Chain A
Amino acid sequence: MSTTLILIQVLNGLQLGVILFLIAAGLTLVFGVMGFINLAHGVQYMVGAYLAYWGYGVTGSFVLALLMALPLALVMGLILEFLIFRHLYDRDHLSQVLATFGVILFLNQLAKVVFGPASLSVPPPAFLDFSFTLVDGLLYPAYRIAVIVAGLLVAFVLWLVITRTRIGMLIRAGATNPDMVSALGVNVRLLFMVVFGFGAMLAGFAGVMAAPIFSVEPGMGDNLLIVAFVVIIIGGAGSIRGAFVAALLVGLVDTLGRTLVTDGLRLVMDASAANQIGPAIASMLIYVLMALVLFWRPEGLFAARAAR
């Protein structure tokens, strides 16, 4: 285990964290501001990736595909809000879980019907199709750096919007006390719709950015959704700042854990036993982290509803 390897893994962890943040940012707003459990958020990530695939097929340019995918993801989110989610805000969480789970099944199947069950791929944009040499023989694609930069930019813009604009103020107020905001004459329904569409677009953006790194396939968002929920629980529901810190934390713990746990176990037991136990423990680490955070700070690291 060399220092170089650890440094590379830190970079990898950051990149995973940034993708997680892009997904969790929308989810935490919807959950924190509207108190709405949207299991279909992962599927909106998938929609973004498929839109990128489709857009690339039509235009032959990744940038154009991205520009087309964002408004379409937004429209898709608004359509879902209008058709389904709007009718669920006043229902209990069980109805929301059931309905949004139905949306997952429907959209996953739709993706399969339209694009087929096989994994698809999208190439990165040509101007980012080069690599940096990390160590001798190991390259780090520039596109992955671009993903990290894009994620940090989105985080910064979100921070500006939330803390410096009127809509951001309403979102913060809505997260803290929605009844009072409504009583003050703010159209909460409209606010919800804006938040929802925006969240869907962020998830779609994450999907577009992830498409050249991962494979585009039905159900690709399902696993990430669970991790995204872990992120917002650690970060505190409704808090963008919390989602950012927690996403990076989860990304780092997961990536470094996968390397370090097995190697660490090998120091104290024989290699084959370490190979058996290591991966199992490594995949539990983020949940252990979540349990610890919940134990010490049940509201999450940056609870939106508590005093900041």
Chain B
Amino acid sequence: MNKLAMTLASSLLGLATMATAEVKVGMIVTLSGPPAALGQQVVDGFQLAIDDLDGKLGGQTAMVIVEDDELKPEVALSKANSLVESEQADFVVGTVFSNMLQAAFRPVTESETFLISPNAGPSTFAGRNCNPYFFVTSYQNNQNAEVMGAHAQAAGYKKVFMIAPNYQAGRDNMEGFRMHYEGEIVDEVYVPLGHQDYSAEIARIATSGADAVFAFTPGGMGVRFVRQFRDSGLADKVQFMSVFTTDETTLPAQKDAAEGFLAAGNWAPDTATDESTAFVAAFEAKYGYVPGGYAMQAYDAAMLINSAVEAVGGDLSDKDAVRAALKAAKFTSLRGNFAFNTNHYPIQDFYQLSVTERQDGAWVTAVGEKIFEGYEDSFAAECSM
């Protein structure tokens, strides 16, 4: 009798879950301070995908909870805890910054909730510490710099001057650049995070005899550096190459100061696939600004979740099945070729990008030469999943 009651109860419970038929996605992104523009791109890109799917993920009603990590690890940690514990989110999408991911990582993955990063792709979780509950729809952080270095090598720059802020990501990007670049590094300069005036560094570049600069100066730092570099007249003599410095979040302020500057990435707004063209048009119509890689990767993250929920028929209780469905990546990525490596980081194509003015006067990055096809990160081999 007892047994029967229990079976009845559990099947009723089962019915109850079926009846709600809802997929809950918690997002942890940075929406405060100067880098808020990046987080906003992620939120808008994700929301656009949900709209395109008529408010559903895999046929179930999608419910999205957006949390701001305020770029503070302790806030990211507590938001992660509340999303998996009190909200019981099925998926957590986040974060923009790698140090926020470090904080949110354990509470989410240890509660056996799938964590999908739309941007941050630190080396820490790509190698030995790869995790069955962690997926990345962007790239491994060093890869853009690796691509830029490969381009510098192919383009035949003899002397490169490197500049980055003095923190871990700065050093990682400089290491990444060195991976495929074999020419001379005439100097590498580390500036404080949030640096204002680059005239001292620009004077060093001018007297160093470099024929190209490689910069990693994200956000407002990039706006200042690019404009000051252009004002110094060096841009005509020294080729400017960078990662995370001239993208769709900084170009509205940099405009023609960044014209012809080179970058590297997995996508640009002019990527010529039907899905991407439609996405860019819809995004600009809805939000009134040009989407960058951040928005694209968030859109893909939503489409990835959609494909997985669909594949398991809405039953999210079998974690192994959900994982297999995610790993299969049965969705059309806006960037074209996309597959997950053994460490759940993408295998994708990388391009050299350059800054240009679009017909309608907006400043954007444009896809140039393809540098790598099906490029894997260099940590996947250490991952045993």
Binding site for B on A (CB under 8 A): 2, 4-5, 8-9, 12-13, 15-16, 112, 116-121, 131, 133-135, 137-141, 143-144, 213-215, 217-220, 223-224, 255, 258-259, 262, 275, 278-280, 283
In the complex, whether B237 has a CB less than 8 A from a CB of chain A is yes
CA distance A143 to B189 in the complex (A): 26
B233 proximal to A (CB < 8 A): yes
- Also in contact, A141 and B231, with CB within 8 A (given A118-B252, A121-B255): yes
Complex contact A258–B250 (CB within 8 A):
no
- A116 x B37 contact (CB < 8 A): yes
B220 contacts the other chain (CB 8 A)? yes
Contact call B166/A118, Cβ cutoff below 8 A: no
A280 and B167 CA atoms in complex are apart in Å by 10
Do B224 and A279 touch across chains, with their CB atoms under 8 A apart? no
Q: Once bound together, how far apart are the Cα atoms of A220 and B233, in whole Å?
A: 26
Q: Are B234 and A137 in contact (CB under 8 A)?
A: yes
**Does any Cβ of A come within 8 Å of B63's Cβ?**
no
Residue from B191, B200, B224 within 8 A of A12 (CB atoms): B200
Interface residues of B (CB under 8 A from A): 31, 33-37, 40, 166, 188-192, 194, 196-197, 199-204, 206-207, 219-220, 223-224, 227-228, 231-234, 236-237, 249-250, 252-255, 257
Interface contact A219-B253, CB-CB below 8 Å:
no
In Å, the complex CA distance between A13 and B196 comes to 13
Contacts of A259 in B (CB 8 A): 200, 204
| CB closest residue in chain A, given B166 | A279
Q: Could you list some 16 contacts between A and B, CB below 8 A?
A: A2-B207, A5-B207, A8-B199, A15-B199, A117-B37, A118-B250, A121-B253, A121-B254, A137-B206, A137-B233, A138-B202, A138-B232, A213-B228, A215-B253, A258-B191, A262-B189
Closest chain A residue, CB of each to CB of B231: A141
**Contact check: which of A5, A9, A275 meets B190 at CB < 8 Å?**
A275
Verify A219–B34 contact, CB threshold 8 A. yes
Q: Chain A contacts of B203 at CB under 8 A?
A: 5, 8-9, 12, 134, 138
Q: Are A4's CB and B199's CB within 8 A? A: no
- Report the minimum CB–CB distance from B38 to chain A (whole Å): 9
User: Across the interface, which residues of B come within 8 angstroms of A134, CB to CB?
Assistant: 203, 206
Cβ B33 vs Cβ A223 within 8 A: no
- Measured CA separation A36–B206 after assembly (Å): 44
A74 to chain B, nearest CB (A): 25
- Nearest A residue to B208 via CB reads A5
> Bound complex: CA of A279 vs CA of B195, how far in Å?
12
The 10 lowest CB-CB distance pairs between A and B, nearest first, are A117-B36, A139-B233, A138-B206, A215-B223, A118-B37, A279-B190, A119-B223, A8-B203, A119-B220, A12-B199
Distance A73 CA – B35 CA, assembled complex (angstroms)? 26
With contacts A121-B223, A135-B207 taken as known, whether A280 is within 8 angstroms of B37 at the C-beta atoms is: no
Residue of A nearest to B254 (CB): A121
Bound: A143/B228 CA distance, A: 11
Residues of B within 8 A of A215 (CB): 220, 223-224, 227, 253
